[in-house]
Amino acid sequence: MLGVFLDRDSLDCGDLDFSGLDHLLPNLAYYPATAPDQVAARIAEAEVVISNKVMLDAAALQQAPRLRLICIAATGVNNVDLETAAQAGITVCNCRGYGTASVVQHVFALLLALCTRLPEYRQAVRRGRWQQAHQFCLLDYPIRELAGKTLGIVGYGELGRGVARVAEAFGMQVLLAQRPGAVEPEEDRIPLPILLPQLDILSLHCPLTPETRGLIGAWELALMRRDAILINTARGGLVDEAMLAAALRQGALGGAGVDVLSLEPPVAGNPLLAPDVPNLIVTPHSAWGSRESRQRLVGQLAENIQGFFDGEPPRLVG
């Protein structure tokens, strides 16, 4: 079968093993990236298409009469016109759970850096302030322990559960938010307006949907404690970024660590990239990107293709 991988460089840093895919699809064509005006030509003769973020809209799919399988090298499938794919009899599979360990680790990297004031102490040493100190240590920036703190989680899927397990190992109390948009009360879940004032840390792990877009805005930030910390490794659109920047500047929030922005890459800038926003760590959507995570993703792509050949494709979408 003829296959194409439209954006290999979106996950490969030259450190991954693609032999599993090559064994299944000896004629697989790899493209580092694919511009929108290149999609139709590149998939025109393909029977299997692998894409991470390249858009596969109705116009492109209608020009690929041989296409039988789309494998998305991610969990989200918003870059595929699923209705058109279904009408054309095209199977769509995604990848799931491959980045859990990497993302959970990143959540606590951000949280620990904020609580231990790691960036500030590192910079202080670089500037020679420890070397000039009058005592053996430098304690200019208040350090907070995680033990005994209350962590709130929005989105209690695999990632949320992974964060909860590590939080409990640190001696934290974990509280769960009611699902955004839920009408009926849920056992052991707390409505967000009631939850927010109780928290030392809020960590977001829900998808971006009409119900969750702008989930944390000015009103929600005002409900949080002045020393609370917000962690977002989910989707940038969950948070009103201008309001978060304002809250940090005003000292209305203790800190924030974000790995996602509303537009990525942020070619037009972003309120959270301003250099004067204090107590903020921004990372470039890298939480998922450990080598192990990316290799698991490649393995799941191979499993999806093998399953399709066997008549039982795993991780079906739709």
Q: Within a domain: residue 318?
A: no
pLDDT number for residue 88: 96
pLDDT number for residue 186: 84
Residue 274 has pLDDT above 90, yes or no: yes
Class of residue 259 by CB neighbours under 10 A (exposed 0-12, middle 13-18, buried 19+): buried
pLDDT number for residue 41: 97
Q: 12 and 107: one domain?
A: no
pLDDT number for residue 180: 84
pLDDT number for residue 199: 98
Asked if residue 226 lies in contact with residue 253, where contact means CB atoms within 8 angstroms, the answer is yes
Residue 318 has pLDDT above 80, yes or no: no
Q: Within a domain: residue 317?
A: no
Catalytic residue among 145, 264, 291, 292: 264
Question: Interhelix angle for 100-116 vs 291-310, to 10°?
Answer: 160
Q: Within a domain: residue 237?
A: yes
User: What count of other Cβ atoms lies within 10 Å of the Cβ of residue 140?
Assistant: 12
- Residue 249 is among the residues annotated as catalytic for this protein: no
- Containing structural domain, residue 89: 3-98+291-310
Q: Within a domain: residue 316?
A: no
Q: Average pLDDT for residues 197-222, to the nearest whole number?
A: 96
pLDDT number for residue 229: 98
Contacts of 160-168 with C-beta under 8 Å, sequence gap 24+, read 160/203, 160/205, 162/100, 162/101, 162/103, 162/104, 163/104, 163/107, 163/108, 163/203, 163/205, 166/104, 166/107, 166/108
Q: Average pLDDT for residues 225-236, to the nearest whole number?
A: 97
Indicate which CATH number applies to the domain containing 30: 3.40.50.720
User: What count of other Cβ atoms lies within 10 Å of the Cβ of residue 13?
Assistant: 9
Catalytic residue among 68, 161, 225, 285: 285
- Residue 134 is among the residues annotated as catalytic for this protein: no
Phi, psi of 83 (to 5 degrees): -65, -45
What pLDDT, in 10s, does the model give residues 189-208?
A: 999 999 999 999 999 999 89
Q: 21 and 55: one domain?
A: yes
Q: Name the residue with higher pLDDT: 180 or 43.
A: 43
Express as a percent the part of the chain with pLDDT over 90.
95
Q: Which range, of 56-70, 81-95, 173-187, averages the lowest pLDDT?
A: 173-187
CA distance 162 to 155: 11
Question: pTM of this prediction?
Answer: 0.92
Q: 251 and 120: one domain?
A: yes
pLDDT number for residue 182: 81
Say if residue 314 is preceded by a cis peptide, omega within 30 of 0. no
Q: 19 and 120: one domain?
A: no
Q: 263 and 306: one domain?
A: no
pLDDT number for residue 293: 98
Q: 256 and 246: one domain?
A: yes
Q: Average pLDDT for residues 11-32, to the nearest whole number?
A: 97
Q: Within a domain: residue 14?
A: yes
Catalytic residue among 235, 294, 296, 315: 235
Q: 257 and 234: one domain?
A: yes
pLDDT number for residue 91: 98
Q: Within a domain: residue 263?
A: yes
Q: 224 and 265: one domain?
A: yes
Q: Average pLDDT for residues 152-174, to the nearest whole number?
A: 97
pLDDT number for residue 303: 98
Q: 19 and 84: one domain?
A: yes
Q: 108 and 247: one domain?
A: yes
pLDDT number for residue 183: 78
- Residue 264 is among the residues annotated as catalytic for this protein: yes
Asked if residue 307 lies in contact with residue 85, where contact means CB atoms within 8 angstroms, the answer is no
pLDDT number for residue 187: 87
For the chain, the domain total comes to: 2
Q: Within a domain: residue 315?
A: no
Q: 77 and 150: one domain?
A: no
Q: 118 and 45: one domain?
A: no
Of 237, 159, 248, 165, whose CA–CA distance to 205 is shortest? 159
What pLDDT, in 10s, does the model give residues 283-311?
A: 999 999 999 999 999 999 999 999 999 99
Q: Which two tokens stand for residue 78?
A: 């918003």
Q: Average pLDDT for residues 58-65, to the nearest whole number?
A: 96
Phi, psi of 93 (to 5 degrees): -125, 150
pLDDT number for residue 42: 98
User: Residue 158: pLDDT band by 50, 70, 90 thresholds?
Assistant: very high
